[in-house]
């Protein structure tokens, strides 16, 4: 089960890679879908409130009738601080 603590740990590791863009991207892309979903939903929330900028295309596809969004890892990299605030505010 995905917990707030697990998400916080992932965000902490990603923050530690802010000086190495390629390692950040590699790790982010290797995260499981459940973890990426939390991060990408926080990005999307920030984007709809004009608090993060989308510089790359968002991919939207349907899976079992549900829209699934995929945010470019570079947008996550550029917006991690704001994403973390949205995750912290929401509670995970």
32-42 pLDDT, tens digit per residue, is 989 999 999 99
Regarding pTM above 0.85, the answer is: yes
The band of 68, judged by pLDDT with boundaries at 50, 70 and 90, is: confident
Spatial CB neighbours of 90, under 8 Å, sequence gap ≥ 6: 42, 45
> Can you give the pLDDT at residue 67?
85
* Residue 71: count of CB within 10 angstroms of its CB: 24
- Using alpha carbons, select from 60, 58, 52 the residue that is nearest to residue 77: 52
What pLDDT does residue 6 have? 93
Q: What is the mean pLDDT of the chain?
A: 91
Domain count, the chain: 1
Number of Cβ within a 10 Å radius of residue 14: 20
5 vs 2: CA distance, rounded Å: 8
- Determine the structural domain holding residue 8 and report its residue range: 4-90
């Amino acid at each position: 089960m995905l917990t707030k603590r697990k998400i916080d740990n992932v965000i902490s590791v990603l923050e530690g890679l802010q000086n190495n863009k390629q390692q950040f991207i590699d790790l982010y892309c290797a995260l499981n879908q459940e973890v990426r979903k939390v991060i990408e939903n926080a990005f999307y929330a920030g984007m709809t409130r004009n608090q993060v900028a989308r510089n790359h295309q968002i991919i939207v596809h349907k899976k079992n009738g549900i829209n699934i969004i995929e945010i470019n890892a570079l947008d996550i990299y550029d917006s991690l601080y704001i994403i973390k605030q949205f995750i912290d505010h929401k509670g995970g």
